[in-house]
Structure 1
Amino acid sequence: MNTWEDAAVIAEVNRIGKPRIVLAGLWTSVCIVGPALSALDQGFEVHFIADACGDVSAEAHQRAAERMIQAGARPMTALQYLLELQRDWARGETYDMTTGIARRFGGGYGIGITYAKTMFGAHEG
């Protein structure tokens, strides 16, 4: 249930050497809370994609999210994370992929991208 109990996972995470871990998963109170708390204990900065997680009920998901936040994890949305990775619309190598994902899954933001492009021929951002 806690992937942090798998020595191969810990070895790979440590080999990569990044200070931040971003988590998402099917069962917030099981698959995400355990690794989040373990990673925090090991000194990692932990973020979780709240709208890419779920649980047996909305209440269970909310309590699990609160538990992680109380321990120091930071919640994000999938769109927020996507745009944080993109950083700047001038990054052409990821522009089409990022705007494609945002258009398809970004709700009102995705509609705004299409609007700006259609009305002004503008780049998003």
Structure 2
Amino acid sequence: MIPTASATPAAALVAPDNHVLIMIDFQSQMAFATKSIDAVQLRNNAALVAGAAAGFEVPAILTTVAEKSFSGPMFDEIGAAFPGQAMLDRTSMNTWEDEAVIAEVNRIGKGRIVLCGLWTSVCIVGPALSALAQGFEVCVIADACGDVSDEAHERAMERMVQAGVQPMTSLQYLLELQRDWARAATYDMTTGIAKRFGGAYGLGIIYAKSMFGASEGH
């Protein structure tokens, strides 16, 4: 039987109101040993994700590990996107084992969890597999995560995908939230984030605007 198409999005797509973003351990000491992605690119991608979530008013949980004793504060770019929001500091490597974080997950009350952070093989695998086991849908923003080696990052992503995690990228996250250039209320915000953090895509937006006017962003 041939299905009937309709102009409606899949429920699997992320939208501002259907998930909670958890940003984990974007801290200097954790980034120092991260080798699977360039540190500047990592910060850029994390800032893109944070800006997108804040701009679309996605509920977000920001968590650090051993901030005062070892790992240092969260990247400034993330704190700037969420001014005044508390950073939940933990001792556990697995964010899902921290009662304060879980209290926030339950308070927000979303069935889809989007994760990014450092390191992929520990601080992302732990909550991803734990959330899946408790019935949550889980996405991981792969290029806003990093690990001590390419091998560590790739095997961690493979392990999570095999368990049912859906991988995505930072730019994909931003554009999936916007999804339609006719959404004027968030158009300038989206293109502004893309121009600042979107790499070649951001340069393309600048070029398109200069050639075709402000209404051409894609």
TM-score range normalised by the length of the shorter chain: over 0.9
More strand by share: 2
> Of 111, 116, 129, which aligns to 1:24?
116
Q: 2:147 aligns with which of 55, 76, 81?
A: 55
The 3-state SS of whatever aligns with 2:146 is coil
User: Comparing 6-15 with 60-69, which one deviates more in the overlay?
Assistant: 6-15
Structure 2: runs of 5 or more not aligned? 1-92
**Which residue does 2:94 correspond to in 1?**
2
Q: Larger RCO: Structure 1 or Structure 2 (Cα < 8 Å, ≥ 6 residues apart)?
A: 2
Letter in 1 for 2:146: G
For structure 1, which segment, 115-124 or 87-96, has the greater mean C-alpha deviation from structure 2 after superposition? 87-96
Describe how 1:63-82 pairs up with structure 2 within 5 A.
63-82=155-174
User: CA offset at residue 41 of structure 1?
Assistant: 0.6
**TM alignment of 1:27-38, pairs within 5 A:** 27-38=119-130
Please state how far the C-alpha of 1:30 moved relative to its aligned partner.
0.8
Counterparts of 1:75-90 in structure 2 under 5 Å? Answer: 75-90=167-182
My pick for the range that moved more, 102-111 or 76-85, is: 102-111
Matching of residue 103 in structure 1 with residue 195 in structure 2: yes
Residue correspondences, number: 125
**1:4-35 deviation digits (Å, cap 9, x = unpaired):** 01122112112211111110002101110000
Does residue 123 in structure 1 map to residue 123 in structure 2? no
**Larger helix percent:** 1
- Calculate the TM-score normalised by the size of structure 1: 0.93
Letter in 2 for 1:12: E
Q: Which moved more, 1:67-76 or 1:111-120?
A: 111-120
Cα root mean square deviation, aligned: 1.2
Tell me the amino acid that sits aligned with residue 198 of structure 2.
Answer: G
Deviations 1:46-81 (A, max 9, x none): 001100000000110000011110110011000000
C-alpha separation in 1, matches of 2:177 and 2:211: 26
How many Å separate the matches in 1 of 2:198 and 2:100? Answer: 35
- Per mean C-alpha deviation after superposition, the further-off stretch among 57-66 and 99-108 is 99-108
Report the AA paired with residue 197 of structure 2: F
**Structure 2 length as normaliser, TM-score?**
0.55
Q: Quick one: percent identity of the two aligned structures? A: 81
Q: Does 1:13 align with 2:105?
A: yes
